[in-house]
A and B are shown apart, each in its own frame.
Chain A
Amino acid sequence: MHCWEWHEFEDATDEVPEPDEMDPYTFGEVQLPRVHVARQFWAGKLETGHRYVVGFVKIEEQSVLDGFLGVTLHKDQPLTIPDSGAWVVTFDLADGENDYAHVEIDSKAKKDLVVEVACAVYDHYNVTKAGLYFWIASREELLSIYDTALGFDVDRATKLKSIPMTFNFQRLGQNGRGYAIVTRYY
């Protein structure tokens, strides 16, 4: 449907879904391939930086959305999976460097990381015109970064490339680590 290569995304959608017994949402059920795209990028200087990968997986199940964000109201209605598409955003170190454990990065790398993830979301939105993006912060220290990136920190202005006309949500879900961006195509 979309030419992902044009927009510097790798289309990683499996034609035949690989069973993942650890995934409670596909084990034992009829598996449909989840649309999955990803992009790698470098954050930081050549000597001290790291490669990261940011991925987008299209979610069709309301239960997944509820599991991530809990019951979240938007315009007095619970958030649901829109027809325009709902995508969960994930990012991590690109390879097994440091066994995927957390690595300390300098300020330039942090800035590059945030900028690149924001650009990836923006570019993905330009391709898909999706209605909803959501994710959870994997660590507590990422909460303040996401709060700032989505404009919730009034003391720190951000110059990130951002999707226009969105409703942003912070600290959602049972553990308060869920985030969501509702676009105008919701």
Chain B
Amino acid sequence: MQSSRDTTENPSADKLYAALTRKLKKTSAKITERKLANGEYVLHGGKVVPASLVEEKYTEAFAEGAITGQHVVDVWKNRQLNPMFRYDSQIIRNPGSVVWTGSRKTHTAALVEATLRQPLHVMVATPIRQDGSQNMPRDGQLFAYDLKSKQMIPVIKKPNGLITRARRKGFQTQLHGNMVLKVK
């Protein structure tokens, strides 16, 4: 049963709340228009719904064999579905070969994944110089802390699987006060 808002009490708060709600509706209309334009929303059953929900529905139905590839093609032709189903002229001739290339993830999970999928920029906190080399460490390069030299020494993996520390023979360098001690 529909109920109307009680605006007889505290009119100022209700009036302001109504103003805020009007603003919210205007914003919502813009969001809806944008998401329909970029395909995040689609029309389904006369309602504007997230495309991911429709994809989930057809994914499950297709996986369960409830719908055929031809059905999927027809739906796609009617633009009721985002092009998560890969389809080309071959599939049109052979609807049974429709291949689902989309994700089974829910909308929320896909958003979380997209949010987390950012490039990680690994920065070395202190400059590491080995043997006076000016080469900067590569991303993913392993280092091990050497107690004797008190330096971070790159770990090199040899083709035969052995891992060694790339410490130059005959020399140890100390970075304290730019003093360089040569140990024979």
Give me the interface of A with B, judged by CB distance under 8 Å. 6, 8, 10, 12, 20, 22-25, 34, 36, 38, 40, 42, 46-47, 51, 53, 55, 57, 64, 67-68, 88, 90-92, 94-97, 100-102, 104, 136, 138-141, 173-175, 178
Contact = CB atoms under 8 A, between A and B. Distances in A.
B17 to A, nearest CB: 6
In this complex, which of B3, B16, B32, B44 has the most chain A Cβ atoms within 10 angstroms of its Cβ? B16
Contacts of A173: 10, 13
Interface string B17-29: 1111111111111
A23 B16 contact: yes
Nearest to A40: B31
Given A24-B12, A36-B23, A173-B10, A95 B32 contact: yes
A117 B78 CA distance: 34
Nearest to B18: A22
B104 to A, nearest CB: 15
Given A8-B111, A40-B32, A55 B27 contact: yes
Contacts of A96: 25
A46 B49 CA distance: 8
A109 to B, nearest CB: 13
A138 B17 contact: yes
Contact of A10 (B1, B20, B31, B45): B31
Given A6-B115, A38-B24, A175-B10, A46 B19 contact: no
A38 B21 CA distance: 11
Given A42-B107, A67-B13, A95-B25, 7 more contacts: A12-B23, A51-B32, A55-B20, A55-B23, A57-B20, A88-B20, A173-B10
Contacts of A20: 19, 22-23
A53 B28 contact: yes
B3 A141 contact: yes
B19 A22 contact: yes
B166 interface: no
Nearest to A7: B115
A23 B19 contact: yes
A126 to B, nearest CB: 12
B50 interface: yes
A165 to B, nearest CB: 25
18 contacts: A24-B15, A34-B23, A42-B49, A46-B54, A51-B48, A51-B49, A55-B24, A57-B20, A64-B16, A67-B12, A90-B21, A96-B25, A102-B2, A136-B17, A138-B21, A174-B9, A175-B9, A178-B13
A64 B20 CA distance: 12
B53 interface: yes
Contacts of B31: 10, 38, 40, 53, 94
Given A46-B53, A46-B54, A101-B2, A38 B27 contact: yes
Given A42-B49, A173-B13, A100 B23 contact: no
B6 A140 contact: yes
A46 B5 contact: no
A139 B3 CA distance: 8
